Structure 1
Amino acid sequence: MAEALVSTILEQITTIICEGALEEVRLLRGVKEDLRNLRDDLTSIRALLKDAEEKQISDEPVKLWLDRLKEESLDMEEALDEWRTVLLYRRTDGAEENASFLQRKVRVFLRCFSFHPVRYHGSARNIKEINGRLHKIAADKANYQLTSMPISKLPRQAESKSFIDESSLLGRDDVKNEIISHLLCETSKEEEGSPIQTISVVGIGGIGKTALAQLIYNDENVKQHFTCRVWTCVSDIFDESKVAKSIIVGLQGLDKLAILQLESVPLGALLEKICKSIEGKKYLLVLDDVWTEKDRDFEGLNATFKCGAPGSRILVTTRKSTVATIMGSSHTIQLNNLSREICWSIIRNIALREKDQRTREEFMPVGLKIAEKCKGLPLVAKTLGGLLRFKTGIQGWEHVLNNELWRMEIVHKDVYVPLLLSYYDLPSPVRQCFTYLAHHTKDMHFSSCDMISHWMAQGYLGFDDDDSPLELKGFEYFQCLEACCFFQDFVDHGEGLECKIHDLVHDFAFFLTRGEFMTLEIFKGNESSTMNRERTLRHLTVGVEKGLCFPEFIPNAEKLRSVVVYSNISDDCAAISEKAMCNLFNQATRLRLVDMDGYGGSTIPEEIRNLLHLRYLNLGVSRNLEKLPKALFRLHNLEQLYLNDCYNLERLPDEIGNLVNLKLLHTEGCNKLTCYPKEVVRLTRLTQLLGLIVRIDRDDPEEFSIGDLANLKKLLGSLCILMMF
């Protein structure tokens, strides 16, 4: 990860020097020499970073050295970004009224680089001081016996791909048939209103419980036997209302609006809805990944489940045998580890998928030794198969077998060592993208397009290149992670892939980032945080239940780079208050990504002007949002703006033309928006435009007209137009 960050900074420094930017603004004498020194130090460090990142797991001094390097590098990245932003203001704000604004901006900028620790927008540091600290870090590298290693490249993509979960097809036939037999077998003792028979599948993480349950859920005999089937993921944070809503959505197939309306329904009414939906029906309910060991958590649901017809069944997957007891399971199946031979079959089917039988037999001896390392876990076998798929010859496989990582004593060794092997085999920029998976909520699908958009906002994909758009590079990175079997449960909606990551892969990403990511769940009677305060908080995900609010103050938010708030809200409730948003924007001035899909306020506070680095802003489905502050349109770095389904938004300000770096604008579903301002013609970098409103009856001097599309030469396929007469 440090390697990718250093490479990005080197690219920025080179660009600034080559552009003659220092001479153009005439900021500080000697800074150009400082930047050249920084470039030399970072270049000497970069060659050693692959070795350092591998050694840090077992070598604490190396880890601390990398931590120092990363902290200083991130500060330098922010400083360089602000420098380029000042240049952007100079080049884009030609109006006389903006000249004084720029002059003030440059004066503040000069002060922040002259007198440490005075900060410009709370984040820039003195380049000279950073240069000195980085020079010391570069000199210290000699203390750690680091060696130069070749930089990993993107693997060649296979000619054909499959979304089939290989681990779910091998070694589980007997247990699958046993569970299906319990599900389909009905006895004369079952009566209306009696407890529903529950079958629990128990096993450690990565052993394939969910994959097995999916096979059973989609079995044709099971489909025909039950009148209705419902799948809901419970996960480690239990919320009875959330589980009830999930069951109702599965039973009734609700649309987005109906799901939103469901948020205001109290638990008692939700349980009544479930009861009516399953009354007299023979149903199958799968409760996947149950963690709670409290009897009372399922009291209401258990009473409701009795409303179904005799023969209904509940299938539970869990890591804890005590859960099976609490659920009153009539049958408990302990999922055993797979044999070495079956693990080898999984590895072989992934790594040697396109090879002939002779080659498979040639690799079998070393393959069986690697399969023994899997400890019977199909997730580990899949991961190793994805790694070995791109290793050349038996020598490459033996290198994996004999890697020193197997001898390390780390948390979850059986799973984390194989994941580490795959992780370190990735190119550095892709490793950086992988760690961002810690930002996504467990058990939730996410789209490849959304993931790539987030990577772009964080700068993980580098800088724009007309010959290779960042979106294309992001898709290549996504395919690389997919080839390593880090994703699962793919769904293709035509407009892009959706998938999930396994719980343990998520935990592994969290392990790698050591507290940089924080997940906060806020709902009635509980507040859970997976925050680790050992290191600086940089990414925050907050889930907010209806009727509750985002915290008014977030500790350690000064260096936050992204905030994602998810909540299903009604018209009279804002998931984040204006005061909380003001506090956030005043404190977290380094934010590059703000995703508040469903924000309930009527406007955005002027304090958004502090977010100088902002690249991505999602305010979609903010139904109360009526106007946008002009301060928003001073954020020249903004690249993606989502305003879709903001029903009450009446206009886009003329100042939208200041967003000269904007690449995506989404206003589809803004029913009160009747026109686009003429200034949209200045947004010449736009590649996606959804919900565009154009006049076709005339060339209007104030409103965007059909002829103005000629100015937007980079628009790609994603263009949705509403014609106005």
Structure 2
Amino acid sequence: MAEYFLFSIAESLIAKLASHAFQEASRLVGLYDNLRDLTKTLSLVKAVLLDAQQKQEHNHQLREWLTQLKIVFSDAEDLLDEFECQTLRNKVVKAHGSTKDKVSHFFSTSNPLLFRYQMAQQIKDISNRLDKVAADRHKFSLQIIDVDTRVVHRRDMTHSRVNDSDVIGRKHDKEKIIELLMPQNSNDDDDTSLFVIPIVGIGGLGKTTLAKFVFNDSRIQECFPMKMWVCVSDDFDIKQLIIKIINSANDQDAPPHQQNLNMLDLEQLQNQLKNKLSSQNFLLVLDDVWNEDRVKWVELRNLIQSAAGSKILVTTRSHSIASMMGTVTSHILEGLSEEDSLSLFVKWAFKEGEEENHPHLVNIGREIVKKCRGVPLAVRTLGSLLFSKFEASEWEYVSENEIWNLPQKKDDILPALKLSYDLMPSYLRQCFVMLSLYPKDYEINSYEISSLWGALGLIAVPKKNRTLEDVANKYLHELLSRSFLQDFTNFGTVYSFTIHDLVHDLALFVAKDDCLYVSSNIQNIPDNVRHLSFAESSLFNNLYHKKSVAMRTILFRYGSKEINSEALINTCVSKFKYLRVLNLWASTMETLPRTIAKLKHLRCLNISQNINIKRLPESICKLQSLQVLRLGRCLQLEAMPKGLRKLISLRELEFSTKQSILPDNDIASLGDLANLCIESSPNLESIFGGVQFPVLKGLTVIDCQSLKSFRLDGNFFPELETLGGNHFEEQSHKLKLKTVLFSNLSQLVALPKWLQEAANSLQCLIITDCDNIETLPDWLTTMTNLKTLSIKSCPNLISLPDNIHYLTALETLMIQGCPDLCEKYQPHVEEFWPKISHIKNIYIDEPEEPEKN
């Protein structure tokens, strides 16, 4: 994988060496000259890397050279991290006294000569190896291109829902499917047999888009009281499928709900499923099915007890699967016509009407879409690639690229996707590849991915007044602009998205053996793997016999309840000393071993949603490189460990506790803390008693029942931009908030007046699960910078402010679970629709149909 973006790794190494903190520390220990020489060699190699990366596909020797370089770069990263890590420990010793393990210190204030000698030897070794590899660069006639000039032109935000105008050339297919789904005669209402309609077509044709197109049609809404959507992909696990169906029926995607279902056995799940599905007819979409095992399909089919008139819509690439599952003739999805392909291409390559000024580019575009062979994903990706680019040479490069001439096998990566990836900026490539750690159709959130990217050092150092999360979100929008992400939803404080399965295949392809999602069908884990994600905790046993200092990431996607925590931590300590990310989400371990402190390079530790752990070892506070610590919904956690102030790199902290009083000074001493979340802490009585948080940008306090109302003063939170939770009905002043989330506030009947103080800064307002709020105040229309207004599950809210049209900056309005409000603001309601019609993106639930007698 790393061979594809060594340029970005070299940039990162050089930037670290050039940083003020690094240079100052190197001077203190007498290593400045050694590191300066290393920087010079890195710069020489970096200058030819962009050219080398582009030429490696057809030059085996060049590829081998890059592989050697990758190994040296990896060791250089470890060396610099070792230096940085020990420098941090030295700061802690000076500020807070001994960390009680000086004997084990590689960097010890009591023996700087030994440290200097050992570090100098390692730097010399790395420099010699790098010089040797660098000397061979002349063999390949590489050009010097020391600046990655590829840029990303961002288009406007998209949303997961499919608008009719976004779907081109599929209206006939849509009507055919709807015709099959609608009751054909009165006898259909008495027919309890399961009716299964397959949609079949090659990858990228838009089977899922067509299914969404049908799923959201008003006729289908009326016909099926219950609609469920389940992404199946290549893991046809009966238990997980039942959980997904129940979750979809409940319309609850929150992890706590999903975790509770995971704790149930198969029989309990079957009973829940039966109760959900037996009372009313339903439409179930099984998207992206790969299972060819008829026994598994029959088992699932028998569990789906259907009411009369229920139907299943299946999307698959396989005709044999369609034949096995379908009860009617499959709907075969063909490629788009050339004219429809060109229309789709123009829609993504130009702003509306812009193509009329560039007829010569449209002509080149016509040649490009011919090579896409009617595959919408390919057309859309290349259109996105060329968006806002008006140099004919750039379009001709795509049209005439040699990648179109390579032989194409059935399951090969789409040339259009590979070409778009090759033209990505180097920094974006390495971030994209990390998406291969997630299973197909997995809903990824920005909260999680930004922590992963940040911990692995993939995010550029933010400029002043910007956080790592800001830069990560910028990267996500760049990937979205290139059509590499889909189902992109803005929740105000976080984004969620998925990636198309063909895009996922591309991520796997370029990751090679560097990243691996370990499922039950993986027989062997490569020795040189660096990033691992496990579908099941039992699969971790495959690692007990591995030893890899290169290992950086270990994630458990669906919980780690079967793991012996002490054995796991000890394995990581003994085998993976440079581990950066450890995600033990939803584990059931009762203790965290003291040896966790030996993972001194760890930057992200997630133990959230553990229902058993009561205490954390104080040794956890020796992890001076730790940037992210997640302990949310650890409901039995009695107290936070003493000495949190020693975690001097921590920028994100999330926890639950049984404490009544927090060590505020410990938390406030975390000088880099940018995000703080306190949740599910029922005994907590007070927080933030006059303590200043100078750089905190995000604060969430939720479900702390004993907490008395508290006031936040802008003098103590000068940088606070995002505020969320259910404890903010009384607030203070001087807060320049950009995002506010009111959640689960049953006592809230009106928005608090303190919100008016953010009139000039507020950009996003989210109101969810506030049962008793009835109206929104007229002063809301003074929020002249408000861009997003999201209202969910506020059943008694009956109106928006009359002058909502004054909110000229408002771009997105979302209303869900508010029956009266949703009915009032429909396009056909002439009295109210004109008040919001100026808003660019409007997502309002359709009114519920009255129950039939």
TM-score normalised by L of structure 2: 0.76
Secondary structure at the residue paired with 1:200?
A: strand
The AA in structure 2 aligned to 1:635 is: L
Q: Which amino acid aligns with 1:151?
A: D
Q: Which has the higher contact order (CA 8 A, sep 6+)?
A: 1
What amino acid maps onto 1:13 in structure 2?
Answer: L
> Given the alignment of the two structures, is residue 686 of structure 1 paired with residue 653 of structure 2, yes or no?
no
- Does the 8 Å CA contact 1:154/1:480 hold for their aligned counterparts? no
Deviates more, 1:613-622 or 1:17-26: 17-26
1:247-326 maps to which residues of 2 (within 5 A)?
A: 247-253=245-251, 257-305=256-304, 307-326=305-324
Residue equivalent to 1:713: 694
Task: State the Cα distance separating 1:597 from its structure 2 match.
Answer: 1.4
Encode CA deviations 1:541-566: one digit per residue, 9 max, x unaligned. 11227x99765626354321111112
Q: Distance in 1 between matches of 2:157 and 2:665?
A: 46
Which residue of 563, 570, 578 maps to 1:582? 570
Q: Name 1:77's counterpart in structure 2.
A: 77
Deviation of the 1:577 alpha carbon: 3.6
* 1:376 correspondence with 2:381: no
SS in 1 for 2:694: coil
Q: Which amino acid in 2 is paired with 1:139?
A: A
Deviation at 1:531, TM superposition (A): 6.2
> Is 2:37 the counterpart of 1:37?
yes
Q: How much has 1:536 moved relative to structure 2?
A: 1.5
**Per-residue deviation at 1:619?**
1.1
Is 1:553 the counterpart of 2:544? The answer is: yes
Q: Distance in 1 between matches of 2:408 and 2:41?
A: 32
Amino acid of the structure 2 residue aligned with 1:58: H
CA displacement, residues 551-587 of structure 1 (integer Å, 9 cap, x when unaligned) = 5626354321111112357xxx544542123212321
- Distance in 2, Cα, partners of 1:229 & 1:45: 56
Mapping for residues 29-178 of structure 1, pairs under 5 Å? 32-94=32-94, 97-98=98-99, 101=102, 104-106=105-107, 126-149=122-145, 150-158=147-155, 169-178=167-176
More divergent stretch after superposition (270-279 vs 160-169): 160-169
RMSD: 3.1
Query: SS state of the match for residue 57, structure 2?
Result: coil
Secondary structure of the structure 2 residue equivalent to 1:57: helix
Distance 1:406 1:196, change over 3 A: same
1:21 aligns with 2:25: yes
In structure 1, what is the Cα distance between the partners aligned to 2:622 and 2:328? 63
**Kept in 2: contact 1:606–1:631 (CA 8 A):** yes
Shift of 1:429: 1.1
Residues 552 and 237 of structure 1: CA distance in aligned 2, closer, same or farther (over 3 Å): same
Provide the residue aligned with 1:700 in structure 2: none
Q: Deviations over 1:296-335 (max 9, x none)?
A: 1022222233x32332211111111111121143120121
Change (3 A) 1:163 1:40: same
- Tell me how far apart the structure 2 counterparts of residues 665 and 275 of structure 1 sit (CA, whole Å): 41
Code of the residue aligned with 1:300 in structure 2: it is E
Distance 2:262 2:105 in 1: 48
Task: Tell me, in whole angstroms, the C-alpha distance in 2 between the residues paired with 1:140 and 1:399.
Answer: 30
Please tell me the residue identity of whatever aligns with 1:617. Answer: L
Given that 2:462 and 2:471 are in contact with CA atoms closer than 8 Å, whether structure 1 keeps it comes out as no
Q: Which among 8, 12, 19 is matched to residue 16 of structure 2?
A: 12
The 2-side partners of 1:103 and 1:275 are apart by: 59
Name the counterpart of 1:524: none
Taking the aligned partners of 1:695 and 1:598, their CA distance within structure 2 comes to: 23
CA pair 91-268 structure 1, distance change in 2 beyond 3 A: closer
Name the SS of the counterpart of 1:529 in structure 2: coil
From the superposition, tell whether residues 280 and 645 of structure 1 become closer, same or farther in structure 2 (CA, over 3 Å): closer
Q: Output the amino acid matched with 1:201.
A: I
CA offsets 1:88-130 (integer angstroms, 9 cap, x no match): 2222212553487178433799879968xxxx9xxx9922222
Alignment of 1:199-278 (within 5 A): 199-253=197-251, 257-278=256-277
Tell me the equivalent position of 1:538: 530
Q: What aligned pairs does 1:290-439 form with structure 2 within 5 A after superposition?
A: 290-305=289-304, 307-359=305-357, 361-409=359-407, 415-439=413-437
Question: Are 1:529 and 2:525 counterparts?
Answer: no
2:643–2:666 contact (8 Å) kept in structure 1: yes
The CA distance in 2 between the partners of 1:434 and 1:530, in whole Å, is 25
- Structure 2 contact 93–99 (Cα < 8 Å) conserved: yes
- Write the distance in 1 (CA, Å) between the matches of 2:356 and 2:268: 63
Cα contact 1:202–1:317 (8 A) shared by 2? yes
CA deviation after TM superposition for structure 1 residue 284, in Å: 0.9
Measure, in 1, the Cα distance between the counterparts of 2:402 and 2:496: 35
Q: Is the 8 A contact 2:355 2:362 kept in 1?
A: no
**One-letter identity of the residue aligned with 2:532:** L
**Of 36-45 and 318-327, the range deviating more from structure 2:** 36-45
Distance (whole Å) between structure 2 residues aligned to residue 75 and residue 417 of structure 1? 34
Partner of 2:811: none
Residue pair 2:230, 2:285 contacting (<8 A) in 1 also: yes
2:306 and 2:283 mapped to 1: Cα distance? 10
- Partner of 1:649, secondary structure, is coil
2-structure distance, mates of 1:411, 1:469: 44
More deviation, 675-684/102-111? 102-111
Is the CA contact (8 Å cut-off) linking 2:579 and 2:602 kept in structure 1? Answer: yes
SS of the equivalent of 1:230 reads: strand
Cα-to-partner distance string for 1:175-195 (whole Å, 9 max, x where unaligned): 111111011143577585753
In structure 1, list runs of 5 or more residues that go unmatched: 522-526, 698-702
Write the distance in 2 (CA, Å) between the matches of 1:695 and 1:684.
Answer: 27
Could you tell which deviates more after superposition, 579-588 or 13-22? 13-22
Kindly tell me: are residues 410 and 328 of structure 1, through their superposed partners in 2, closer, same or farther at Cα, counting changes over 3 Å?
closer
Aligned to 1:504: 502
TM-superposed CA distance for 1:151, in Å, is 1.4
> What amino acid sits opposite 1:592 in the alignment?
R
Question: How far is 1:264 from its partner?
Answer: 3.6
CA contact (8 A) 2:153 2:387 kept: no
The count of aligned residue pairs is 695
Q: Distance in 1 between matches of 2:384 and 2:113?
A: 50
The answer to which of 409-418 and 382-391 deviates more is: 409-418
- Tell me if the contact between 2:639 and 2:657 (Cα under 8 Å) persists in the aligned partners: no
Aligned residue identity for 1:540: L
3-state SS of the aligned residue for 1:242?
helix
Greater share of residues in helix: 1
3-state SS in 1 of match to 2:321: helix
Gaps of 5+ in 2: 710-853
**Aligned with 1:331: secondary structure?**
coil
Taking structure 1 as reference, are residues 38 and 539 closer, same or farther at Cα in structure 2, changes over 3 Å only? same
Q: Are the aligned partners of 1:520 and 1:529 in contact in 2 as well (CA < 8 Å)?
A: yes
Conserved 8 A contact 1:282-1:311: yes
Paired amino acid for 1:541:
S
